[in-house]
Structure 1
Amino acid sequence: MNATSTAQSEPTESTTAQTPAPKSRRRRRIKITLGVTALTLVAAAGGGYLWLNAISDAKNLGVSDCNAVTPEVTATPAGTATADDQRAVCRTLRSMKDAWARHDATAYGDQFAKDATYTSYVGTAYQGRRDITEGHRALFDGFLKGTKLSDSWLSIRFYGPDTAVATSRGDTYEGGEPKAADLSKTQTYTLVRQTDGTWCIAAFQNTKRQRVMERISFLFSPDTRPAAEK
């Protein structure tokens, strides 16, 4: 065989580069298919999240005026609470809110019992008035600087004449006050009557509402839905 026929029978370097091997083509097709599948799944998950978020508004939004809540009263041998007691409870909650707006940590802490507990929505547990006061002094100078409180009251329950539990939707905000539907936290205040007749907060629990997770729970386990949300 002469050199000319050998050159013709052997593929040139340029021909080899232009014709990928079958295995390379298959690998490339697999990568493209996996990439398209991943993008489709991401888009579907994102669309599903947005849809769930859009239908996750709470139905029970409460009222902005604490005094407008119809209280639930449980009688005990010691007696029952009165309308004046509700006004006094609401006055304490209003004083707390006003102190926050002024960023007055001392006045804010004064609305809590000396041995009060305070659990923030990130899970921080404050123990006692001093802890609550100093923690919020730092927050007012830092993360929460310039913020105010917004509340929409869901219920007030009196257990005898000296104990009350108030629940609300609430949030911090800057600028215009948000609508009740936009408040992102659910809060519980336990208040007790002091010896001078005034009321103070003995315990506070703040929980961030996970809108989408709540809606998923309702969809897959309908019995988890509260009566007020049906």
Structure 2
Amino acid sequence: MPSSPADKTTDPADLRRSYSLAGLRRRDLPSDPLELFQRWFNEALNADMLEPNAMVLSCCAGDQPSSRTVLLKAFDARGLVFFTNTRSRKAREIAANARVSLLFPWYALERQLSIEGTATPISAADAFAYFRSRPRGSQIGAWVSQQSRVISSRALLEAQWQAMQERFRQGDIPLPPAWGGYRVEPTRFEFWQGRPNRLHDRFCYRRAPESDQPTEWNLERLAP
């Protein structure tokens, strides 16, 4: 089929963009990376970008790493929290190897933030408290989907949706037995800010190994 004048067939190798929105200077960085994370997250919210709390979760339980996007739903000094089906591929991989990485791709701000740490399940009570705050349709959806399992068709999902709607037609919807949350306790933050000529600013916070205080971090600038 011939292409229209509006079609773009540019070679990806020809795509170029110079980053110049902002920069990072060591003297301006706080000692606690969570403070800088809060600042960047607020700026992502204020930039009105799509899903500013979207983060790429990467796991590796064997020879093959895997990645997917999840949504950040809470964070504090203890770590960053997301929710999922606890029988999904990601949950099985975390059970085998709790070391994970997170990536916030804030392209509109010419930024990315990567975080490494250990994922542990949150309590059922905390999971239920968040589950109750979800829209009713999302609550029903958590009962319908056996996440990561092979299914025969979309029609099967829709039939199960109708069945669950009828099952939970009245009253509160209980927490599904295979649904919960994970908290990633960070051991490393890397803040990346795009700069002209590909001389980007990269700063890495690593938890101080000689300290038993979770709030003590070593800060280093990395070459771009």
Q: Same fold (TM over 0.5)?
A: no
Instruction: Work out which of the two has the higher radius of gyration on C-alpha atoms and give 1 or 2.
Output: 1
Could you state the TM-score of these two structures normalised by the residue count of structure 2? 0.23
Could you state the TM-score of these two structures normalised by the residue count of structure 1? 0.22
Higher strand share: 2
